[in-house]
A = this chain, B = another copy of it.
Amino acid sequence: MSKEIGITTKKTEDLSEWYTQVVTKAELVDYSPVKGFIVLRPYGYSIWESIKEYLDSRLKASGHSNAYFPLLIPESFLKKEAEHFTGFTPEVFWVTHAGENKLSERLAIRPTSETIINDAYSKWVRSWRDLPLLINVWNSVLRAEITATRPFLRTTEFLWQEGHTVHATKEDADQEVMMILGFYRDLIEQQLAVPVLTGYKSEREKFVGAMYTTTLEAMMPDGRAIQMGTSHNLGQNFSKPFEIKYLGKDEQSHYAWTTSWGVSWRLLSALIMLHGDDRGLVVPPQIAPIQIVIVPIHFKDRNKQGINEKISDVTETLKNSSFRVHLDDREQYTPGWKFNEWELKGIPLRIEVGPRDVERKQVTIVRRNDLQKLSINDHELVQEVRRNLQLIQNGLFERASAALKSSIRKADNYEEFKRIIETDGGFVRACWCGSSDCEDAIKAEIGATIRTLPFQDEATFAACVKCGKPSKAVGYFARSY
């Protein structure tokens, strides 16, 4: 593989340039002619499909159904929830013409679908028998990005899922919000091997229109946080303007409680930055569209037939054990070229079969995460492959967990707080008085925000790290993507 094809920048030297090279050279994405938009190429899409499949089955098993709602939303709908409208207006793409005809009311391309979905719900919900109403949508949304684009992390259009549910009581809505947050945590930690902090958002940082927002936050190697997903209790903020009411068992009419929640292809950005290395991507086995690549190693014609028979046996055996396997028997490329390509794409395990492997009734495996090379006896193939995939999955998560843990620092005063954020980054655990003014000042002065307020109140009687007044909560502050 030529230098041009491989990654030419070290991850530790220039994370941003390294990231750009990885996402394009591993063929996850390509840039689009329109600024802010990207193409999700087949390999990138296949990872997204793995994510979808996992989450979709969790959602269906817990009684959620998929549906589809229109792309275009009348301006008057967006305006129904004032805070929501103000929050999204600067980012909305407006459609003004159909063919040659000017539209009577301009239409927004959905930046999120609360308004159009809650309008439909007001027709569908009549009685307590219709509740809970649990619907999820897989679609794309558009929010104009004025700053620089980074694939998966900051793009104008992104793929995501948005869940929207209706409940009879606040408690039911609370439970839904937390159940979904649990699904997200399982997806992110167990599948993507990305450890997260969870908790509430502050009033300043919550979703526009929500009663409260819960979040999952990951830490990147450059000390900046990524918001991985959010789950909101919308209270009655949407059910009132949209008139979502139900007749209770008490024969009275009640406003319902609604929730919404989403994760997007942004999940991929954390996976890439946390696990990747100077050779390219490292995809955790649980989510990898290809878990194992098999490469024949021919030395001239030495036992060519034996090698070919063995690789098809090995491929069959592993497929029958439900591993996701790709046999790379292309003749126009050398083994070395293939190794580089599949390392760039982050396939967790490589199996090589050469003449000596055939003689010794073994295969050679190479783990992508630590590049360890091992020989495995043929009769232990399935169990050893399984064990090594598990080792990779655990290894990735443990390394990332240790990094997350060591990134969390405590600051007792503003000088210390500022120094940590400006030198090492990471999460700073600090006391906070509860006022948005302090958040605003910290954001303006050092660019950090409260990423999350822990669910379990880490009660403290210390002073607010900014203003010195008595603190109401402990916050995890960081700069973020």
Contacts and interface: CB of A to CB of B under 8 A. Distances in A.
Nearest to A124: B30
Contact of A95 (B32, B33, B40, B94): B94
Say how many copies of this protein the assembly contains.
2
Interface in A68-88: 68-74, 77
Interface in A339-394: none
Nearest to A64: B42
B32 A70 contact: yes
A336 interface: no
Interface residues of A, number: 55
Contacts of A97: 93-94, 96
A291 to B, nearest CB: 17
B30 A123 contact: yes
Contacts of A100: 90
A468 to B, nearest CB: 39
A143 B436 CA distance: 46
Contacts of A101: 144
B39 A67 contact: yes
B68 A33 contact: no
Main secondary structure of the interface of A (DSSP, over half): mixed
Contacts of A61: none
A39 B120 contact: yes
Contacts of A120: 30, 32, 39
B74 A140 contact: no
Given A93-B97, A96-B96, A74 B34 contact: yes
Given A72-B157, A92-B99, A42 B135 contact: yes
Interface in A289-347: 332
A427 interface: no
Given A30-B123, A45-B67, A144 B98 contact: yes
Contacts of A438: none
Interface of A: 30, 32-34, 37-42, 44-46, 48-49, 65-74, 77, 89-101, 107, 109, 116, 119-120, 123-124, 129, 135, 139-140, 142, 144, 157, 159, 332
* CB-CB nearest 8 A-B residue pairs: A42-B65, A98-B144, A37-B70, A40-B68, A90-B99, A94-B97, A32-B70, A45-B67
